[in-house]
């Protein structure tokens, strides 16, 4: 393959594919929070308990986690493009269903449909990036992909709460339905760029395909016998437990622990998201300069975990706690691109969708469990333990990432050149 700098056409195609996939990914993350910012209005409209509201989030991620593992199989069978179109359609229809909900049962059904739509994105996105983007740019591709997800998370509360405040929660959901349908039209218009029967990335000559003979001999589910795949699943589950704690209860915990206003506590969460986005940009450059991605991951999460534990002490001034949230986000962001390249290195040839589907289902499962754990800590009036647990989970993630990297390096070293 010609060098990246020697092929302007290849650069243009890479840029377009990365942009299209990242825009779709931002929609997925926007829909992670399709209901949470509207809980105050929905609670009043249907006289719901906090447990009932929390269940809507749990059912979303539970369906997404189960569907994600299955979606990987479908992606490898029929291609990522068609499955991605299906996912975006489900998200749009789910928002319409939620907007017209006459009662709680319809809210549950809408959450389940949104979870089904969300389940396809990681298997589709990473299959498209691995097959359609040239290998030298994959680190940057994963970085931009991760940033787009954070932007979706950041945009959802602002957009939905603003519209609900100006009109009502049903109008906010109707407006949200427009987003996936608009992106779907954009992707259909550029559908030739999203073919996965052939791609720019030359994987056969890299370590990413080193497992092909080991796993492919076992058929469709042969990859599930590879230990590194389950190590990846474990560390995605652990990462998501930390992320779920930050998303769900960091604002409430900062407010309770430091006595700061909700405005300042929300600024802490916003700072976390901005720090994470900046860290991903930096992490993309770092990831392109090494093959031992677990080391970058470990350094990023050492920083994030240490700062979370400092916040847990309650000793820093409130303004400093907000700044430390930025550093927590930056550490997690630095680790993001290396995390995704670790999984790529563990994926057997022609099983990319299946591997990403299984390991990212661990992320959704963790996000479905985390609100239950951290909510119990807040109900027991232990806000400091929210940050203690976040730090513990981030430290545990380092150990699993090192295990994945060591296992992959050992396997590659054992293979003939």
d(CA 196, CA 202): 13
Same fold, 1-135+147-189 and 210-410: yes
**For the range 107-110, what are the long-range contacts, defined as Cβ-Cβ under 8 Å and sequence gap of 24 or more?**
107/35, 107/42, 107/46, 107/56, 108/55, 108/56, 108/59
d(CA 277, CA 282): 9
1-135+147-189, CATH topology level? Growth Hormone; Chain: A; (1.20.1250)
pLDDT at 209: 42
pLDDT at 311: 96
CB 91 within 8 A of CB 117: yes
How do the pLDDT tens digits run along the chain, 417 residues long?
344 444 666 678 889 999 999 999 999 999 998 988 888 899 889 998 877 887 888 899 889 988 887 888 888 888 899 999 999 999 999 999 999 999 999 999 999 999 999 999 988 998 899 888 888 888 788 888 888 988 898 788 888 888 998 999 999 999 999 999 999 999 999 999 998 764 444 433 344 444 444 444 455 555 566 666 777 788 788 888 988 888 777 888 898 899 988 778 878 888 898 898 888 888 877 777 766 777 788 888 889 999 999 999 999 999 999 999 999 999 988 887 777 777 666 655 555 567 777 777 788 888 888 877 888 888 888 889 999 999 999 888 887 777 666 666 566 556 555
List the structure tokens of 361.
Answer: 């289902």
pLDDT at 7: 60
CB 239 within 8 A of CB 397: yes
- Give pTM, 2 decimals: 0.73
CATH number of 210-410: 1.20.1250.20
| In the chain, domain spans | 1-135+147-189, 210-410
């Amino acid at each position: 393959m010609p060098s990246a700098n020697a092929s302007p056409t290849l650069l243009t195609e890479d840029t377009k594919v990365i942009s299209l996939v990242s825009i779709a990914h931002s929609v997925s993350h926007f829909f992670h929070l399709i209901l949470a910012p509207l809980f105050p209005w929905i609670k009043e409209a249907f006289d719901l308990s906090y447990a009932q509201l929390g269940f809507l989030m749990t059912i979303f991620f539970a369906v997404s986690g189960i569907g994600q593992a299955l979606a990987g199989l479908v992606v490898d069978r029929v291609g990522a493009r068609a499955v991605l179109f299906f996912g975006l359609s489900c998200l749009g229809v789910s928002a319409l269903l939620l907007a017209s909900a006459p009662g709680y049962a319809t809210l549950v059904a809408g959450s389940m449909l949104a979870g089904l739509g969300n389940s396809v994105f990681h298997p589709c996105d990473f299959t498209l990036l691995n097959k359609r983007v040239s290998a030298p740019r994959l680190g940057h591709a994963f970085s931009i992909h991760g940033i787009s997800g954070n932007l979706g998370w950041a945009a959802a509360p602002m957009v939905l709460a603003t519209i609900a405040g100006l009109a009502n929660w049903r109008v906010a959901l109707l407006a949200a339905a427009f987003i996936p349908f608009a992106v779907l039209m954009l992707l259909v218009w550029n559908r030739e760029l999203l073919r996965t029967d052939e791609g720019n990335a030359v994987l056969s000559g890299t370590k990413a395909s080193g497992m092909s003979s080991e796993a492919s001999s076992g058929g469709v589910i042969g990859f599930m016998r590879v230990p590194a795949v389950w190590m990846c699943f474990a560390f995605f589950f652990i990462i998501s437990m930390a992320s779920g704690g930050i998303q769900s209860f960091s604002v409430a915990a900062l407010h309770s622990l430091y006595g700061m206003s909700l405005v300042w506590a929300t600024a802490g969460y916003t700072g976390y998201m901005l720090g994470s986005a900046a860290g991903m940009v930096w992490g993309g450059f770092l990831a392109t300069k090494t093959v031992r991605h677990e080391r970058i991951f470990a350094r990023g999460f050492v920083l994030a975990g240490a700062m979370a534990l400092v916040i847990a002490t309650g000793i820093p001034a409130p303004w400093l706690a907000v700044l430390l949230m930025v550093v927590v986000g930056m550490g997690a962001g630095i680790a993001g691109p290396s995390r995704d390249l670790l999984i790529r290195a563990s994926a057997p040839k022609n099983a990319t969708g299946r591997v990403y589907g299984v390991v990212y289902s661990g992320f959704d499962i963790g996000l479905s469990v985390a609100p239950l754990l951290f909510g119990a800590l807040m109900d027991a009036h232990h806000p400091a333990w929210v940050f203690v647990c976040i730090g513990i989970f981030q430290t545990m993630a380092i150990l699993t990432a090192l295990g994945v990297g060591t296992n992959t390096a050992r396997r590659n070293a054992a293979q003939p050149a």
